[in-house]
Amino acid sequence: MAFTPGVSRLAVAIGILLAPTAVLAATLDAPSLPYEDLGGCLYECCAHGKKWTATRAATVRSAPRLDAAVAFTVRPGERLTGLNSAVITHRPGLIHVKKRVEVPLGGQTVSLPQGERLYALHPVGEGLFFVWHRGQTFSLDVPPGPHADPTRPPSETPEFRTDSDPEMDWWLALENSRGEVGWSDEPEKFDDIELCD
């Protein structure tokens, strides 16, 4: 999907993703994949709407896909506006509930029974993960997974056992000084992304 002149930057950033996949699941057993979390951040607080600085050259694409056309390139030291970000989960991590636990959710409490399976979509900083459970999403403090190392045992706490990590891509929506807008999957090449260092 190309960016269209005259369309608001936020509308473009939102419209480029297939929003229903981030809201609705095909069944209540597991999330639909890929799961697209528009506004998703791997830190506690991303500085959306602020200036980010490129530390290295980076490629910015017209959509958050590796096969999308190149929209523009970024030079080291260039300042851009971080419009938004999105985490696209291709395979969620698996978490098992070892004993019943109550989880706060929107002013209410969700009861997770022993033996229930949760799906970790992506980390959100401070040891928390963005988790999917029967059509609902929430942040939860769970142990990190084995990080794709088959020799490491699952991580456990008295409440949870994390068997695997999620496989995901993190895309940044950027606007340069010429008003060009696009997406980069190279967050490691930008400074000032995190608002609360």
Q: How far is CA 171 from the centre of its chain?
A: 8
Listed by start position, the domains of the chain span 1-91+167-197, 93-165
Spatial separation of the C-alpha atoms in residues 84 and 24, rounded to whole Å: 21
Find out whether 34 and 19 touch, Cβ atoms under 8 Å.
no
Spatial separation of the C-alpha atoms in residues 34 and 187, rounded to whole Å: 20
pLDDT at 143: 83
pLDDT at 20: 41
Q: State the amino acid at position 145 in one-letter form.
A: G
Closest of 101, 88, 79 to residue 190, by C-alpha: 79
Over the chain (197 residues), the average pLDDT of each successive run of 10 is 38 47 56 95 88 97 97 98 96 95 87 96 90 93 73 82 93 97 97 77
Architecture of domain 1-91+167-197: Roll (2.30)
The two tokens of residue 11 are: 């509308």
- Show the DSSP H helices in the chain as ranges: 9-15, 20-23
pLDDT at 154: 73
Q: State the amino acid at position 37 in one-letter form.
A: D
For the question of whether the overall pTM of this predicted structure is more than 0.85, the answer is no
